[in-house]
Amino acid sequence: MYIIPKLLKNYSPKRFNLAKKKKQKYYVVWFGNPAGIYDSWEKCKKAIQGISGAQYKSFETLPEAKIAFQKEYVDYKGKNTKKKKILTSEELQRIGEPNLYSIAVDAASSGNPGKMEYRGVDTQTHKELFRQGPFMQGTNNVGEFLALVHGLAFLKQQQSDRMIYSDSRIAMGWVRRKKCNTKLKRTSQNKKIFELITRAETWLKNNTYTTKIVKWETKAWGEIPADFGRK
RNA sequence: ACAU
DNA sequence: AAATGT
Ligand SMILES: [Mn+2]
Ligand SMILES: [Mn+2]
């Protein structure tokens, strides 16, 4: 099915009332207790918990799920219901190669929210330049944001004109607007993170920089060099 | 939808 | 499989 680029560009979850609601999914459990079709991950989880070798998969619609339930798990196991987009050689050519005169930053979180950390490396050598955390109850996006601002401050302090790569569109947007728009709830455990956010936003508003912030093209180049390699 |  | 975000 074709999707018009203009509509794609204007895509907004809010317009489809998906902003706050989780997308409805249906979960087929072929081997569980009991097998069946469930309309929430919570219910599905109960049916597979403690079942070694449980067989289950999510579907976007109930009709899809009903058909799948009457078929075999092996017909769906490992099937890319997710579109793992492969770039055409034209796209690869247009993207080109990364500029190695740069640093790369990335964040990782065990759980999201969860135990979050971030670091920056030399894109060329992968040598670690800075690393912070882990911090309790952070989000992936906050980590990517803090990493980017840390990188900006690092390069300014070094008087370096290298550019910075990030794979996070969210963090790049927040830095551009000098505003971390996280929805993360404050807790007693993540005070430090919110202090760092405030400190980062303050840095952005009180400092100038000419550093180019560039999207790391993961599909073309593989994982960003700063990646923690846990996926 | 896209990026994590 | 989940969640974080525009
Ligand atoms: Mn990342
Ligand atoms: Mn990563």
Interval A98-113: pLDDT, tens: 999 999 999 999 999 9
Rounded to the nearest whole angstrom, what is the distance from the C-alpha of residue A106 to the centroid of ligand 2?
6
- How does residue A85 score in pLDDT terms, banded at 50, 70 and 90? confident
Please tell me the distance from the alpha carbon of residue A230 to that of residue A119, in angstroms, as a whole number: 14
**Per-residue flag: A1 CB under 7 A of strand B:** no
**Per-residue flag: A83 CB under 7 A of strand B:** yes
Q: What is the pLDDT of residue A78?
A: 82
A182 CB-contact burial (10 Å; exposed 0-12 / middle 13-18 / buried 19+): middle
- How does residue A83 score in pLDDT terms, banded at 50, 70 and 90? low
A 172-231, residues with C-beta < 7 Å of strand B: 216, 218-219
Residue A118 has a CB neighbour count (10 Å cut-off) of 30
Q: Domains, chain A, ranges and CATH?
A: 24-73 (3.40.970.10), 91-213 (3.30.420.10)
The complex scores an ipTM of 0.99
**Per-residue flag: A145 CB under 7 A of strand B:** no
> Quick one: which of A36, A33, A39, A72 has its CA closest to A51?
A33
**Per-residue flag: A144 CB under 7 A of strand B:** yes
